[in-house]
Amino acid sequence: MTRKRLAVASIATAAVITAAGCATPPPAPLQTLSDYKIGVAKRIAATSRDTYSTPVPEMLKSIVVLEITLDKAGAPLEVTAFRNNGYEELTLRAITSVVDAAPFAVPEPALLQGTGTVSFLETFLFRDDDTFQLRSLVPSPP
């Protein structure tokens, strides 16, 4: 009887191990546009000497919103000012910061639009000393 129980237990254990080994792992979550945008913002911040990381002041000198279009290799195709406060030099600095930080990570195929590009808005928050923080990197309030 003991051998029979041992044999049954061995077969059951082997079946569990085999089933576990053959199980298909869940697919990795696809990169969202928000995830990709944060990656781009981190690259811009890392390559620019004009950023700050302290909390965003209540009053900002300028807010510049850029529309950024990247190709499937992560290279900028078009960077245009979507909104600015009239400080053209700060708008130009924001655009230059994007171009200088390129190339960016290759976007997931699911993020590409019909033209093989990915487009999104990024907001540059300029303080009085003309340094900026990227809205995508500002922590959400609790």
Q: How does residue 16 score in pLDDT terms, banded at 50, 70 and 90?
A: very low
Of residues 65, 54, 58, the one with CA closest to residue 87: 65
Least Cα distance to 93 among 138, 120, 62 occurs for 62
Domains and CATH numbers, the chain: 31-137 (3.30.1150)
Average pLDDT across the chain, whole number: 85
Tell me the two tokens of residue 100. Answer: 């200088």
Strands (E), the chain: 62-71, 76-83, 117-126, 132-134
**Cα gap 5→7, rounded to integer Å:** 5
pLDDT band of residue 139 (cuts 50, 70, 90) is confident
pLDDT digits (tens, 9 = 90+) for 79-137: 999 999 999 999 999 999 999 999 999 999 999 999 999 999 999 999 999 999 999 99
